[in-house]
Each structure stands twice: as structure tokens, then as C-alpha cells.
Amino acid sequence: MESTRAPFLPPRWFVRIAWVVHRAIYSLTRGRRGLWPASADKWGTMRLHTVGRRTGKARTAILGYFEDGPRLVTMAMNGWADPEPKWWLNLQAQPEATVDLGDGPFAVTARAATGDERDRLWARWEHYDEDLDGFAARRTRETQVVVLEPRSGRPAATA
């Protein structure tokens, strides 16, 4: 019989500190550490550059992703907290953004996956995290699966 127990999630303060430390590692090493490519067995990390929907200022977030052909796929999960992440709200207001991978930046256009595509991409995330449904159940809203489509010549695949 399967357990209905929610998967462990560290306290919010710990998650936020982890984000700060990750960004600091990236900054202190001038980008040499902190990003890694996705592989068949592990999701990767990327840097997403958006424009603030209210301020118009440049904003940056480091996110997990996997590749779906030339597209990058991430989750608008905010560390599994209930509010939508600010980077996703920014992309909804202005879907054009830039992504940094280990092999350089490229321009993307963001959109939410829907229907069968969302189901397929969600199932691929479950390959990386078997507790995905349990984490998502902690939120009162559906977690968006975000697709980042290249707008221009993307560097060769990293994995």
C-alpha cells in the first residue's frame, strides 16, 4: 500500500538561504560554479534573465530545467511555496527573456505548457523527482510547467 504522507520539505527559511548561497557561489566564482547541464539522469540548472513586470528592472533567477529537444522546461514552483514565483509573473507580463547555460546565453520566449504537452512534460519531471506529485499537492494552485522556446540560434546541446 502506498503512503499518503507528504514528502519532506525543509522549512521556508532554509530554502531561501539555500537560494542565496547558490547565487553567491555563482557570483563569487564569476559563473564557473553554480550551473550544470541537464542529463538523462539529472536535471540541470540555468540562469534566467527577465524584466520586472512592475519596475522594468532586470531580474535574475537560477532554476532547474531539463531539455525537450531545443526547448528548456522548468517548473513555476517557488520552492513549493504557494505564491507564484516572481520570475514566472514577470514572464507572463513579458515572455521574452534570456537564459544562461554553461555554454553561453541565448534568447527565449516563455509559455505555459497545456493539455497533453503539460502531462507529457510533467511525467518527464517525475523521472527526476518521484515525489513531484506530493510536493505539488502542498500548493493550492496548479504548478505551471514552463516551456522556454529558443528565439535565435541556441548553442549546441549541453548533454
Model confidence at 38: pLDDT above 80: yes
Residue 116: all three cell numbers together: 497533453
**Whole-prediction pTM:** 0.78
CA atoms within a 13 Å half-sphere pointing along the CA-CB vector of 127: 15
* DSSP symbols for 116-145: HHHHHHHHHHHHH-TTHHHHHTTSSSPPEE
Model confidence at 21: pLDDT above 60: yes
Per the CB < 8 A criterion, the answer to whether 99 and 48 are in contact is: yes
Segment 75-117, tens digit of pLDDT: 998 766 678 889 999 999 999 999 988 777 899 999 999 999 9
pLDDT at 28: 65
pLDDT at 32: 67
Sign of CA dihedral 47, 128, 96, 81: negative
* Domain range list for the chain: 35-150
In this prediction, residues 128-138 reach a mean pLDDT of: 75
CATH architecture label of 35-150: Roll (2.30)
Question: What contacts 5, CB < 8 A, 6 or more positions away?
Answer: 134
Q: Are strands 96-101 and 144-150 parallel, antiparallel or unpaired?
A: unpaired
